[in-house]
A = this chain, B = another copy of it.
């Protein structure tokens, strides 16, 4: 029986076309492609890596989870050392472990947390400038928190996604949206049982439009009702978004 190896991965998505492999010839452009390249060379097998979910082009991860099946006899420590040696410096392996036979990174994911970083305008961000949304206007925290309260809970989030048509359910549960004002940035954390395509970025863009007064907190209730993408706010840019953790 093959081993089932679980990886905990962090990456700077800045120069990649996202997590998901785009095709046989574009391996180096995606995080999954890069990892499969190195894993296949390491094992001598054609490794298929299963991620907990996709991240868009330019989006980062502090705790992406993925798994793959292999006959490779290396210890977890040896696998980790091999990957650390041969992966580019913008992809890091935080943990390697043997998972149960039936573990599946995507299907078994029970809870995910994302965070989104927004720079306070006028304050320099020299060393983390590539990991923030530099939105130029001040934001009203109270209004954003009010909208966040409306969004928390079990809803059909179709209007907050870029999904056009689907037979699958677009109902998700948001357990918490925390908005924290720090000295130099506003940090928004989203925890839920799952997220639709672009959902965190559209939620963030909508919260920011509410924060700067272009929209009202109640407008999110309209989006939940009409389920129309047009009623929601802009899609926040990718570089401020981090997949923080996945729970099983």
- Measured between beta carbons, the chain B residues less than 8 angstroms from A134 are 89
Query: In this assembly, does A3 line the interface, its C-beta being within 8 Å of a C-beta of chain B?
Result: no
Question: Which residue from B12, B89, B90, B127 sits with its C-beta under 8 Å from A12?
Answer: B127
With known contacts A127-B12, A131-B127, A122–B81 Cβ distance under 8 A: yes
Q: Quick check: B84 and A124 within 8 Å, CB to CB?
A: yes
Complex CA–CA separation, A89 to B124 (angstroms)? 7
**What is the 8 Å Cβ interface bit string for chain A, positions 83-127, against chain B (1 contact, 0 not)?**
010000111111000000000000000000000000000101111
Interface range for A? 20 to 34
**What is the 8 Å Cβ interface bit string for chain A, positions 1-41, against chain B (1 contact, 0 not)?**
00000000011100000000000000000000000000000
Q: Name the distance in Å between A92's Cβ and chain B's nearest Cβ.
A: 2
20 additional contacts, CB 8 Å, given A10-B127, A92-B124? A10-B124, A10-B126, A11-B126, A12-B126, A12-B127, A60-B127, A81-B122, A84-B122, A84-B124, A89-B124, A89-B125, A89-B129, A89-B134, A90-B126, A91-B124, A92-B125, A93-B124, A94-B124, A127-B128, A127-B131
